[in-house]
Structure 1
Amino acid sequence: LEGKIPVVFWDEFDSKELKWLQYLLSPMQDGAFLEGQLRHPIGKCIFVFAGGTRPTMQAFSISDPDKVYGEEDRQGGQYKEDKEIYIDFTRKKGPDFVSRLRGYLNVLGPNRKQVYNTATRCMETDSSDICFPIRRALLLRVMAGVRGNDPLRIDSGLLNAFLKIKEFKHGARSMETLVALITGGEGKEGLMRSKLPPKEQISLHVDYDEFLDLIQQGEEFQQICNGLAPFVHARYQETTRTPMEYKQEFDALPANIKADNVAAALRITQILSLISMQVVPKGTGQALEPEIVEKEIEANIELLAEAEHIGWMESKKSQGWRAPQPGETRDDENKIHPCLIPYCDLKEEDKEKDRESVRYYPKLVELAGYMIVYEE
């Protein structure tokens, strides 16, 4: 192989209780390996080692207890136990192997990151890892066969479950299996709850009860949103300059405006989740004080208002509305609306409409007989 630069991928090199390490040192150091009495040169090469028994480099590379413990702490049983583990790691050429590495990458999976607790010598969940839903979303698109800017077709409750479930029992493999079971391996029709596999299959990969609860989360609230729509309309009239044809009772409104108000109520649970809040029936948790909810909303008002505007645009476009072309103005009969543009391009007065809609969320939740709590 001399004269070429091969790339060698060593999968689960840390299996067999690290007994492979001693055989990897010579190729790493000298660019050659022995087969009996024969020396096989491989020259310069790139070795990629993928671990299968330890989740991070910190968990793999054990530190010398003499460099961790002080003199007064070296008499206890914990030190002696750690010393024995380090001696075994040294005997298996662990430090020699690590010294030959040029870098490492801890690949994060769909579950919360695990960190190594040196005191307990155990892996523990890192509560500061708040990015795991993003990793799951990326994996979900790939596993469902979505490419480029194409949207992922997925039931909203199912998406909620995939992103928020506490743990996938077998990491990315569990996600991949569930996606394949739901889509039938093709993904053309998207991920719909009607295609969920039996409980026994789901339970192999996630906590079934938790998964189902997350799928159904917010559904009770959404079922009463039709009754909340008149309150949304009334608030809109109070805070904005509405066209004359809309200054009437809710029941007399055009169908498309009624639909907008219902959709506005439906968006509440989704948008509040952006600031780690959720809507639950009263009595099922510790309700947040109104002042706390108001403060959180104001601190994130632009984020929430933009999400509200995006949701409104999606609702409008689904009804066939579009933004005006040059020279066109608002035309409700032909479904043309000047606000069907990105939030950043809106006039300040139109942005304020979205802000006011968000500020009214807590009142709508209260009118519905629900309350706002922090997500677990």
Structure 2
Amino acid sequence: MRKIYKIRNIAQHQSSLGFIYAVKIISSVFVENYIKKREIMSVSSIPKVISGDLESLQNIIDSIPYAVFVIGSNGSFIDCNSSALQVFNASSRDDVIGKVPSILAPEKQPNGNESGIEVNTYIQNTHRSGSSSFYFYHQTFDKRVFPAHVTLKRIIYGGDTCLLSIIIDMTGQVRIEENQALIHENPYALIKLNPDLTIADVNPAFLTITGYKKEEWIGRSAGDFKVLKGDGPTPLDAINTKSTLRGTYVADFPNGITSMEYSYIPIFDPNGIIMYVYAIFADRTQLDSKINELGFLIRDNPGAIATIDLQGNFKAVNPAFQEMSHISEEKLLSMNVSDLKILSKQGISFSDIISSKKASKPKFMNL
């Protein structure tokens, strides 16, 4: 019991994944103790106290939330706990006892190898080494495939050398690890906000763009950023509307003034309770700089320049165009190109330019 108590103490200080493995060790200890007791005692001939002790151990093993199997020397299942039936959605022990382990796996693993061949390889290696631990994709009787962490350990059972197998469904943990990879490898700056809108995490791209150090912002509010100009919703708006919202802002970071386009993505649990908000930022500084530069070139250009949408509506005009047309900017932006009073023209029409998708140089004289 001292060993188990010590393991529990260690488990309390581990991460969630470490805790799973610590509990797995404890489960293995209980199972092995039970098997040893059952091997050296005949239940019909021992005192009721000991029989009750074995019964208690069996209850503990059945209460372990992981699938526990015993693989016989012939490579098939010869025993399992109640959780194994639940995990694999088996209707009874008859579904698994006497069957080979590959019945609990898809035909092939994600790497393309046949599951049966991989299972046999792991079993053979464990018989030689005494124990092994690996990731493997299993399949339930209702065809649900899930990633699992499997531990095999060589034991003596019924006088034969067998393998004890403990299988943990890692679906949730794999998703967590995948999400972490997506966050930390993402080229866009990303902030993870707690429900109270304090910062829970930032990715390397955020640190690169802003010039901040990670420890400077964990636990602080995103509202503490020095925003020079903002246009768009807040994280609270995203939570209240339960939708992804977008906007732009300009902030003063240690690396300089940065123009950002952002998205707030709220994440809720199955009960609709907010878990966290992801804030994703795209650095628009260079793009905005080029747009502004282009704007200056157009504005100060001596040639008349107008931006027209596909329907022929004026969207922007420079001073030279206003001077040439003798029409104010305000009025031009409410007009369509067809509203211009053309006295004469040479070349194709505006609609023909759109249809041809080619540049053209028509000439016209307006009133």
Q: Calculate the TM-score normalised by the size of structure 2.
A: 0.27
Which of the pair has more CA radius of gyration? 2
User: What is the TM-score with the length of structure 1 in the denominator?
Assistant: 0.26
Greater strand share, structure number: 2
Q: Which has the higher contact order (CA 8 A, sep 6+)?
A: 1
